[in-house]
Amino acid sequence: MQSAQGAQKQTPDKVERFRLLCERLALVLQKEGLSVKPYRDPALPHFNQLNESQKDIALHTLKDYLEICQEAHAESFSLKDSPRFCWKALRRWGLIPASDFFDKLEESDSVEVYTDEGLQVFRNLRFFEVCTYTLEELYSLEWWKLYGREESVTRSLFSISLDLINGHIPGTMKFDTGKHELWELSSEGMRRFVVEPRHACSLRRNGEIRGFLFTTTVDCL
């Protein structure tokens, strides 16, 4: 009975911590000229629907990203410097990309980093420039609840993700998926895009694959 009461006491504290982290990250992004809402409802309905383990993961992932941004500003470089920003995040987690990956990264690319369990842990500023989701939604909802695209394209990208995680793709790969439409499923703006996956590679820690990252060009419709 005591442990159940303890869990009940923990949840409001987690909710408040998550709310503050969202607000702080929104302020950091504002310094870069971006207007990203921390949440739509201060009661945080999406975060509250998570179980305790999922809340912990969301808090840890959000805190990590905020601290990376804050450290970058403390070092006086803009988060719009994608190669430097991405490298800083990867170094924090001890992750190493393919040696030629950053040679192929372009300023206009959206960059996303995923763990080997498919959890998105990093997005560069280009992602936030076009996204209309709140921070609460991005850190509380699974990606398949956030975005839609043609089923065949989803299957192809999922298959490639598995190949990256399983080490079947050496070095940096170039996508041949081509341009296709992507749309927000439940955001305030319900924005639609034309996207083109460009490059991807596995991420290693101590020689073992621990995730992957990929770049995409994004144009709003």
φ, ψ for residue 174 (rounded to 5)? -105, 125
Does the pLDDT at position 12 exceed 80? no
Q: What is the CATH number of domain 2-220?
A: 3.30.450.20
Amino acid at 114: Y
Task: Please state, for a pLDDT cut of 70, what percent of the chain lies above it.
Answer: 95
Where do the structural domains in the chain lie, given as residue ranges?
2-220
Q: Which residues contact 34 (CB under 8 A, 6 or more apart)?
A: 125, 128, 129
pLDDT, tens digit (0-9, with 9 covering 90-100), for 46-77: 999 999 999 999 999 999 999 999 999 999 99
